[in-house]
Amino acid sequence: MKVNEELASKNNQVIAQKICKRFSYYLDDATLKSCGDMAIWRCTKKHGNCKKLSSYVMWECLNAYDEEKKMRKTSVKLPNDLEGHFNSCDISMILNEYLDRLTKNEKKIIISRFLEKNPVREIAKKHKYSRTKVYSIIKKSLIKMRKNGV
């Protein structure tokens, strides 16, 4: 019952909100609320009170922020108004447009590395290059693609 009392405490909610506010640019309101509640729960379970609540809230927010960063790296998220606007055909056309700007060799290596998910070691072996040379080709190709708008 102690956890429910601490969660209901207006003072604890205010402390949690103030600390969570620092992360409002990076995390949505629901995630921030969850961080505050989880911090109150963990703090109460560990110490029996919320005297160290600010540290727990900060820790929860930092963890949530790290998770958000990982998610952003692994997936491309379109704004809600564009969701479903593109289909795989459109994406293939756009990708091919940028790949066409590369040399035949660069194109093969980029496709092998990023679309087929082959390790650099295998690509080097297949194309009879050193791994360093493959890394160099990948880096130059990505720079070339970025300059052209990717």
Can you give the pLDDT at residue 121?
Answer: 92
- Secondary element (H or E) of residue 40: helix 29-47
**Taking the model in full, what pTM does it have?**
0.46
Kindly list the distances between the CA atom of residue 72 and the CA atoms of 17, 26, 66, 78, in Å, as whole numbers in the listed order: 25, 11, 10, 11
Task: Encode pLDDT of 34-66 as tens digits.
Answer: 888 888 888 888 877 777 888 888 888 888 888
Report the top-level CATH class of 88-147.
mainly alpha
**Per-residue pLDDT band at 90 (split at 50, 70, 90):** low
**Residue 82: what are its φ and ψ, rounded to 5°?**
-100, -10
Structure tokens at 95: 């990708």
Can you give the pLDDT at residue 131?
Answer: 92
Give the Cα separation of 64 and 23 in Å (integer): 10
Domain boundaries, the chain: 2-74, 88-147
Can you give the pLDDT at residue 122?
Answer: 93
Residue pair 64/38 in contact (Cβ under 8 Å)? The answer is no
Say whether 39 sits in a helix, a strand or coil. Answer: helix
Maximum CA extent, the chain: 67
- pLDDT, mean over the chain: 78
Provide the Cα torsion 88, 119, 140, 76; round to 10°: 30
